[in-house]
């Protein structure tokens, strides 16, 4: 009764019945890997929710104060108001620490899920026509996610994040021709930049989430319009989609996934400490801590900076400094190649037909091999971001670890790529396991040995 009345009210004003009927009966293909993007969406919602709570207590100010709160080891220490408010959120505000840790864990997982989601789309060829535009929007969302992460963990104005900002500034400074101006305009002047925290704050809580929100809407709208891809299977064709209806099964499953995602994040946040800034201490431009690692999603850039040999370009009195190559050229090339990938691939395969059915990675050996090669390159860079940790853990000389990783950065992609190509060729054409094909039966023969037989022969 109440549903009818509501529908009538809305229909008389907005004409919703046609659209609603279609929506409720919409069919979504089922596969666990299609849930990755959905999980990322839920993590974004959790980030927004906990983020709003944190803004009520965080103070993005560089003004110097003397700490007098309840965390005794830092009493009497000079620090920025931003860092003090972080301590207050952690120690004075009831439920503040759990909110902060949920926020940080959700951010770490958000980036992880985005990357895995992107890998799924890449390896299954979901980016192919007609979905190239959504691949571009997705990559932009990943870029924004990285910026959101960096701007967010730089806000506390602790020793670790201050070091990260300093490196970011040095990388900006290294850009040919415009580096100094760009660095001064972005950071508001020479290091240690008076008002960078308030600037990052606006970027972190308004500009980036706003942009993510808009592009996320566009991303979902395009999925809605084009409908989700599906793996090949019985009845599934380029024209027919097989799956679960929106109402009620899919909607309830989606709700369940939200709660399970949130449950995982809150469990991590409650039991596993993350970014304990009170241990790092307030930022001091003349201090640095050993074993400083960024959050995991920037580890590949940190590793690239560490693996880069000691050379730079000097010609005609100009310099292209060392950090430019690992800090900007590598990520620049990475993202440009990724953005262009749907067209690069279409050019080589000459495949310009629209696709709704996904590839199994083994069926496209070259793409899969290139993807694995690229992935192993970034994995080596990521590992190199912790070369000091590895050297300490295995008691090896740091220089040897670095040299070994420098070799691996080129060798591993080559080996992994070739191996992947061969494995794909080997597996290609084998039918997928659906679970309902007839199995083989092992039969004992008269002489006591065993042989396999087709089931119908038994």
Partner 1 sequence: MNEIKGEDQAVRRIALAFGVSTLAGLALALVYILGGNVQAEGVLLALSLGGLGYGLAEWAGKLMSQGAEVGDYEDAPPPGAEEEVAGVVSEGWEASFGRRKFLFRMLGAAAGAMGLALVFPIRSLGPSPGTSLLRTAWRKGSRMVREDGQLVKATDLAVEGVLTVFPEGQTDQADSQTLLIRVDPDQLNSPDGREDWTTEDGLIAYSKICTHAGCPVGLYRVATHDLFCPCHQSTFDVLDGAKPIAGPATRALPQLPIEVDEDGYIVAKDDFSEPVGPAWWDMNR
Q: What minimum distance in Å lies between the beta carbon of 379 and partner 1?
A: 19
8 A C-beta contact, residue 440 and residue 456: no
213 near partner 1, judged by CB under 8 A: no
Residues 22-51 that bind partner 1 (CB under 8 A): 25-27, 30
290 near partner 1, judged by CB under 8 A: yes
Backbone torsions φ then ψ of 186, nearest 5 degrees: -70, -45
CA distance 25 to 23: 5
Q: What minimum distance in Å lies between the beta carbon of 258 and partner 1?
A: 7
Q: What minimum distance in Å lies between the beta carbon of 141 and partner 1?
A: 23
Q: What minimum distance in Å lies between the beta carbon of 375 and partner 1?
A: 24
Nearer to partner 1, 291 or 448 (CB): 291
Neighbours of 199 (CB within 10 A): 16
Contact string (CB under 8 A) for partner 1, positions 390-429, x = contact: --------xx--x---------------------------
Checking phi first, is residue 315 left (phi over 0); if not, alpha (psi -120 to 50) or beta? beta
Cα 12 to chain centroid distance, Å, stands at 43
Residues 57-116 that bind partner 1 (CB under 8 A): 94-95, 97-98, 101-102
8 A C-beta contact, residue 302 and residue 294: yes
231 near partner 1, judged by CB under 8 A: no
Q: What minimum distance in Å lies between the beta carbon of 184 and partner 1?
A: 4
Residues 157-176 that bind partner 1 (CB under 8 A): 163, 166-167, 169-171, 173-176
CA distance 458 to 443: 8
Q: What minimum distance in Å lies between the beta carbon of 170 and partner 1?
A: 4
Cα 242 to chain centroid distance, Å, stands at 29
Enter the tokens of residue 79.
């620090």
- Candidates 71, 116, 143, 227; binder of partner 1 (CB under 8 A) is 227
351 near partner 1, judged by CB under 8 A: no
CA distance 166 to 297: 18
Stretch of 11-19, 132-140, 323-331, 413-421 lying at the interface with partner 1 (CB under 8 A) = 323-331
323 near partner 1, judged by CB under 8 A: yes
- Burial (CB count within 10 angstroms: exposed 0-12, middle 13-18, buried 19+), residue 312: middle
Nearer to partner 1, 215 or 292 (CB): 292
Torsion sign, CA atoms 202, 203, 208, 211: positive
334 near partner 1, judged by CB under 8 A: no
- Candidates 210, 332, 354, 439; binder of partner 1 (CB under 8 A) is 354
Contact string (CB under 8 A) for partner 1, positions 244-283, x = contact: xx--xxx-xx-xxxxxxxxxx-xxxxxx------------
Enter the tokens of residue 367.
């793409």
Nearer to partner 1, 68 or 263 (CB): 263
Compute CA distances 233 → 195, 223, 368, 432, whole Å: 57, 21, 21, 9
H or E element at residue 443: strand 441-444
CA distance 362 to 198: 49
Q: What minimum distance in Å lies between the beta carbon of 182 and partner 1?
A: 9
């Amino acid at each position: 009764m109440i549903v009818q009345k509501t529908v009538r009210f809305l229909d008389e004003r907005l004409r919703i019945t046609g659209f609603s009927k279609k929506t409720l009966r919409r069919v979504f293909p089922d596969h666990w890997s299609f849930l990755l993007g959905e999980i990322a969406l839920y993590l974004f919602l959790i980030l927004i929710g906990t983020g709003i709570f944190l803004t009520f207590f965080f103070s993005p100010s560089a003004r110097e104060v003397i700490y007098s709160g309840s965390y005794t080891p830092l009493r009497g220490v000079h620090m920025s108001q931003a860092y003090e408010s972080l301590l207050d959120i952690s120690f004075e505000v009831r439920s503040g620490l759990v909110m902060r840790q949920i926020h940080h864990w959700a951010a770490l997982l958000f980036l992880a899920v985005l990357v895995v989601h992107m890998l799924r789309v890449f390896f299954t060829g979901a980016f192919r026509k007609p979905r190239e535009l959504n691949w571009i929007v997705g990559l932009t969302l990943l870029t924004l996610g990285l910026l959101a992460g960096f701007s967010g963990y730089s806000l506390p104005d602790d020793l670790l994040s201050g070091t990260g900002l300093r490196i970011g500034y040095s990388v900006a400074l290294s850009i040919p021709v415009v580096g100094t101006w760009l660095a001064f305009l972005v950071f508001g002047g020479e290091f240690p930049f008076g008002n960078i925290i308030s600037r990052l704050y606006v970027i972190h809580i308004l500009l980036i989430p706003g942009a993510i929100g808009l592009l996320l809407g566009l991303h979902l709208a395009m999925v809605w319009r084009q409908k989700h891809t599906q793996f090949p299977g019985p009845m599934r064709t380029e024209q027919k989609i097989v799956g679960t209806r929106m109402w009620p099964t899919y909607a309830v499953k989606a709700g369940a996934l939200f709660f399970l995602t949130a449950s995982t994040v809150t469990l991590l946040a409650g039991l596993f400490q993350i970014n304990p800034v009170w241990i790092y201490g307030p930022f001091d431009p003349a201090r640095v801590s050993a074993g400083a690692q960024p959050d995991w999603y920037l580890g590949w850039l940190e590793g690239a900076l560490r693996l880069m040999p000691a050379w730079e370009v000097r010609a005609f009195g100009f310099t292209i400094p060392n950090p430019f190559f690992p800090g900007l050229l590598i990520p620049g090339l990475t993202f440009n190649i990724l953005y262009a990938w749907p067209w690069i691939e279409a050019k080589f395969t000459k495949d310009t037909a629209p696709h709704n059915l996904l590839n199994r990675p083994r069926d496209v050996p070259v793409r899969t091999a290139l993807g694995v090669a690229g992935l192993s390159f970034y994995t080596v860079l990521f590992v190199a971001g912790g070369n000091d940790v590895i050297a300490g853990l295995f008691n090896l000389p740091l220089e040897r670890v670095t040299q070994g990783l420098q070799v691996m950065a080129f060798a591993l992609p080559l080996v992994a790529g070739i191996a992947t190509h061969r494995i794909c060729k080997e597996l290609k054409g084998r039918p997928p396991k659906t679970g309902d094909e007839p199995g083989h039966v092992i039969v004992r023969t008269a002489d006591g040995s065993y042989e396999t037989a087709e089931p119908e022969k038994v």
